[in-house]
Amino acid sequence: MIRVIAFDADDTLWHTERLYLGTKTRFMQLLQAYQSPDWIDARLLETELRNLQHFGYGIKSFTLSMIETAVELTEGRIRGSEVHEIIALAREMLQTPVELLEDVEPTIRQLADDHRLMIITKGDLFEQETKIAASRLGDHFDLVEVVSEKTPQTYRAIAARLDVDPTGFLMVGNSLKSDVLPVVECGAHAIHVPYETTWAAEHVPNDVANQYHFHRAHSIREVPEIVAKLNGRR
């Protein structure tokens, strides 16, 4: 029996990657006098990946990476006004209203009737708490965990704290790398609901994913049926 259903947040419950892509486009426009969009894009990703270990995830890290990339790309010729615009982009991102994915609200409402629901999200605590409050979904979740990384150890610790056997734990999320494979490694269940795009740092090759047993859905609205099947089978 599935006792706890946990959801990832960014790009599972609400749009996030879209916001990053939009900001990246404006960042490339800002620097178009200095370099080509493709070159800027590649250098930004490089900076982001290098900074992850120092700065972690989230909009503030992303912004510091944009500023650093801008300084490097322009060989120090970046203007103060341009740095200011990058910080303004960050503040705008942080103030963008939360936009739920289609069917999220009715599905969460339906599942909350019979299950203990939680959110397990990676990233910046301050940003995630702000978004959860803005989503108005908070009341449906018994527990919200903001974690710095999603490893099998992360999920094992959460299941232990909830006193739930892995076979009674289901995770739903858009990232194979963070929401699916480490969960399956713990002997728990996972449903992969891909988002329209995947950030390069979260990419998993097909031949790796194919070694794991998990469920696939096109939309969150398929989750209740998969849960019913999982419960019926046991």
Told to check if 124 binds its own copies by CB under 8 A, we report: yes
Q: Is 153 in the site for its own copies (CB under 8 A)?
A: no
Which of 116, 126, 123 minimizes the C-alpha distance to 161? 116
Is 163 near its own copies (CB under 8 A)?
A: no
Q: Does residue 126 touch its own copies according to CB under 8 A?
A: yes
Give the list of residues 6+ apart from residue 89 with CB closer than 8 angstroms, or none: 23, 26, 27, 63, 66
Binding its own copies by CB under 8 A: which of 28, 30, 45, 64? 64
What's the min distance (Å) between Cβ of 64 and its own copies?
6
Q: Is 84 in the site for its own copies (CB under 8 A)?
A: yes
Task: Tell me whether residue 76 is exposed, middle or buried, using C-beta atoms within 10 angstroms of its C-beta: 0 to 12, 13 to 18, 19 or more.
Answer: exposed
Specify the residue, 56 or 224, whose C-beta has the smaller distance to its own copies: 56
DSSP code per residue over 35-103? S-HHHHHHHHHHHHHHHHHHH-SSHHHHHHHHHHHHHHHTTT---HHHHHHHHHHHHHHHHSPP-BPTT
Footprint (CB under 8 A) of its own copies, residues 86-115: 87, 90-91, 94-95
Q: How far apart are CA 164 and CA 168, in angstroms?
A: 6
Note whether 216 binds its own copies by CB under 8 A.
no
Total site size for its own copies, rule CB under 8 A: 36
Q: In this chain, which stretch among 9-17, 64-72, 187-195, 225-233 interacts with its own copies, using CB under 8 A?
A: 64-72
Footprint of its own copies on this chain (CB under 8 A)?
A: 54-57, 60-61, 63-64, 67-68, 70-72, 74-81, 83-84, 87, 90-91, 94-95, 124-127, 129, 146-148
